[in-house]
Chains A and B, each alone.
Chain A
Amino acid sequence: MNIAISVAEYIQEIQNGTIHVEEFIAKTLERINKVEPNLNALITKNEKALREAKEIDKKLRLKEKVGSCYGMPISIKDNICTKGMKTTCASKILENFVSPYDATVVSRLKSEDAIIIGKANLDEFAMGSTTEFSYFGPTRNPWNTDYVPGGSSGGSGVSVSAHECITSLGSDTGGSVRSPASFCSVVGLKPTYGLVSRYGLVSYANSIEQIGPLAKKVEDVAFILNIIAGQDPNDNTTLGDNTSDYAKDIDKGIAGKKIGIISEMVGEGADKEVIAATNRAISKLQGLGAECIPIHLESIKYSIAAYYTIASAEASSNLARYDNIRYGFDFSSEGYEFKAYISKVRGNFGPEVTRRMLLGAFVLSAGYYGKYYLKAQKVRALIKSQLDEAFKKVDLLVAPTMPILPFKIGEKIDDPLTLYLLDINTIVANLSGIPAISVPFEIANGLPVGIQFMANSMQEKLLLQAAYALQNTTNLPVVPL
């Protein structure tokens, strides 16, 4: 049995009765056991997966109503709460934390009979672009296990790419879905801010981040989006209706569409392989009838500074609650005074999280708020207004997802600034709230290259149509692992 299949193929096979959920899950678990020692994509495996599969098979046998996922295995980034299964955020601080509730996205998937196969590795609290900053060790890229898989949703990208599941949910604060999608040769979507409920997503930078699906195919991503998108009474920032069908008309094509090529993202600082791939992608898009024109987004040069100011500020506040008093890891407070205890406890955060919390506390401190935080918010507003201008001229924007090819594990870990600069192409969408998607396009030197599209807020349908059109021009090799 082939487990390297798409959502649509899986559903087809289950509906035809050619495979059963239980055998598919068993095969998937076998695959996980085989590849995990090399990849470390999953922090926790679902011990009950087979039992859940049997129940769905039983419902199918009895012709009872079965949810639209038919027991499809999905991995969930380990910063999204799952009832009864650990949610560690890849941190010592939440090493033993079991959430008493499901995130809204998780309960929606469960009610559609998806099987959560495991919790995916990430940079601690989603802070990082390589999945090297995990308390549980780095995740490795299945295309070459010496290389980083991107991040912070590296476990999600790898688990899909290496067929440990069919789809995955990640979270994208500065590119954390799209970066591993690009580095692992899968599709990754960052939806419009507010389209998908964040209830149950452990906050890192709450004004910026979104949960997004990763999958093998663009249409798979649309399928998951249909399930998870829409208003949620538990998240006051959600918007939109719950009835849009993102999969419908996905093959509409992009003939006649205007696509802006973001000049600032295809020049200096980018690998030549990436630029070459992007140019080939642009030719393909033109071949499909799109009109491609260059677009300047001058404020991009401030975007990294603005992003790390805002995200760090929010992180310093969001992570303040981890004082180990109500939940956390095993460490008695006996004999400690409150402040001494929490500073001892909070010494257990990893280096990147500590760095950002300190940075955030600094930019918010008295006398500096206007100089840093407010200024960053102004940059954010400027980026949004320049994008609004751009979307008056074009329907979509295109750029490489990552400026460079995947690199070796450990190569840049001691150079935080270089790592921050890798987010240059992705954070524009986060700061402005617009949707963006990364589509696998080429394999260069044995390493994946992804192409990114952006669209205006709530234009996910258009975005998915463009990504689908580009996907159909590609013929990519299978993962070597």
Chain B
Amino acid sequence: MEIKIPKDLLYTEDHEWARKENGEIAEGITDFAQSELQDIVYIELPEAGQEVAQGDSIATIEAVKTVTDLYAAVSGKIVKVNRELEKNPELINKDPYDSGWIVKIKISDPAELDTLLMPAEYKKVIQEE
């Protein structure tokens, strides 16, 4: 199966993606991550309004293969949470980069974006796994 790595996104080594949108990022897990996890059963989401630091665990994803945490790709304030996932967690499997987004974070330190991986760098990360 071909793993999708959209060119317009940034990535983390923990298989999160981030899309820049007017001082915020939308964040989710990558196509590689969802295919490794297999069917997602349930996601424990954070509350909007919460302040988080880069690397903090902000959600827990329970899937057939294993359970995993979602880490904040940047520091900031969680401004939106995709509540649709509580009813339909399979959106993450089916559409990880779009309707399967998980949180939106208002960026507090734009310099942190430079610490994220470019698509080509992320591709290397998954080739090594």
Task: Judge: A and B partners, yes or no.
Answer: no
- Interface of A with B (CB < 8 Å)? none
